[in-house]
Structure 1
């Protein structure tokens, strides 16, 4: 996985959400100025380990039509940016994710928290259910997750 320039992130998000790149505000944890009125706000956090970036994206309710569901957004971002995009799986352990690939495949992935390296969060992709070219070190195996409330 690799770092992406802020401008590339803004353009990709604008295309997926259906707004102009000027309506997307992407900022890192140390960036001071934010356009809080932007149609799309994206907080970007660098990571250590197998994943390069974590994104927290919020789309203003005024954006019409509403953006697609998170899984579709991940697939579109992966295709536009040429890298895998992971997003959480609903209703299961925090380690359970979906990996979307540039070629349009979605597969389960297990992401493990590796603590911190200085001020940077470390994570590892332990396993995937289907091979992901951008995650060649991840074991390919069936991933069974148990609900947290059980």
Structure 2
């Protein structure tokens, strides 16, 4: 088992060793901790747990690469291990999140707080790390801004059954098309059909989150909400570029989602979304009706 951690404190090797022994329920003398730049020939490669550490620059001070032998019975998942280590070493710990984003991390504190964090690395030969934002206030890091991380929300899976039905129906049309093939049914990258599916899915993901009262956190970034409204704008422009059967299918699909959207929103005289987005046009008069409604509870107002 391997674990990869950052700590905000520059821990001494003995402190790391004792914390690892506590986390893994092994004797301290069965843990080997060494600087990655030290002489590797003198290490105890038969130790039950091996840890190579490096000093780093910025908001984090140490990176730990930990390998645990199969003989160790206590090998918790990385989330639990990080929490144990934060308590044992009395430091803030960051570990990689499951999303395929280099900046996506989880952060845990010695008092048990767990939150998402955005960790950025500079392009210098020796990178400098910055904790750019967290989703909950961390007492040990008072200067870090608190916000929901849009890139994390984008990565979260949301079922889109209406879009799936649209894709299935258009595929049946494609299979039934006459020879020569109708170019309006081409499903190549950047084709009109491709864009119709992408915009419909983006609109549906936001509507489904709204229907679920913004599951799982009750929050939703306003920039993603506005991106969905812009996707709805583009859907409105697509039918004239599509063949009649596909345009009809698209109107039917988006109509279902529009009805769901209306049920979860109210008329908006305050232009709530616009007010939250710097640089938005002051006049929404020419935009679609969906810009003139707002969620019954604004999810970006929640702390």
The TM-score normalised by the length of structure 1 is 0.90
Match of 2:75 in 1: 67
Query: 1:97 corresponds to which residue?
Result: 105
Name the CA distance, whole Å, in 1 between partners of 2:123 and 2:25. Answer: 36
2:115 is the alignment partner of 1:107: yes
Secondary structure in structure 1 of the residue aligned to 2:29: helix
Q: Which runs of 5+ in 2 are unaligned?
A: 1-7, 156-303
CA RMSD of aligned residues (A): 1.4
Give SS of 2:20's match.
Answer: helix
1:47 counterpart residue number: 56
Q: How far apart are residue 10 of structure 1 and its match?
A: 0.2
1:134 Cα shift? 2.1
On the 8 A contact 1:115/1:123 being kept in 2, the answer is no
Within 2, Cα distance between the matches of 1:121 and 1:29?
A: 16
Compute the displacement of 1:29 (Å).
Answer: 1.8
Is contact 1:18–1:67 with CA below 8 Å preserved after alignment? no
Q: CA deviation at 1:62?
A: 1.4
- Indicate whether 1:77 and 2:85 are aligned: yes
Q: How many residues align?
A: 144
Where has structure 1 moved over 6 Å in runs of 4 or more?
none
- Verify the 8 A CA contact 2:106 2:114 in the aligned structure 1: yes
The answer to which structure, 1 or 2, has the higher relative contact order (CA under 8 A, 6+ apart) is 1
Q: Secondary structure at the match of 2:122?
A: strand
Does 1:11 find its partner at 2:18? yes
Which residue among 5, 9, 13 is the counterpart of 1:2? 9
Q: Deviations over 1:107-136 (max 9, x none)?
A: 0000001233x6x43110000000112222
Larger radius of gyration: 2
Task: Name the structure 2 match of 1:21.
Answer: 28
Greater Cα offset, 100-109 or 28-37: 28-37
More strand by share: 1
Specify which of 148, 173, 178 is matched with residue 142 of structure 1.
148
Q: Which residue of 2 aligns with 1:56?
A: 65
| TM-superposed deviation, 1:144 | 2.6
Contact 2:9 2:92 in 1 (8 A): no
Higher helix share: 2
Give distance in 2, aligned partners of 1:144 and 1:83: 27
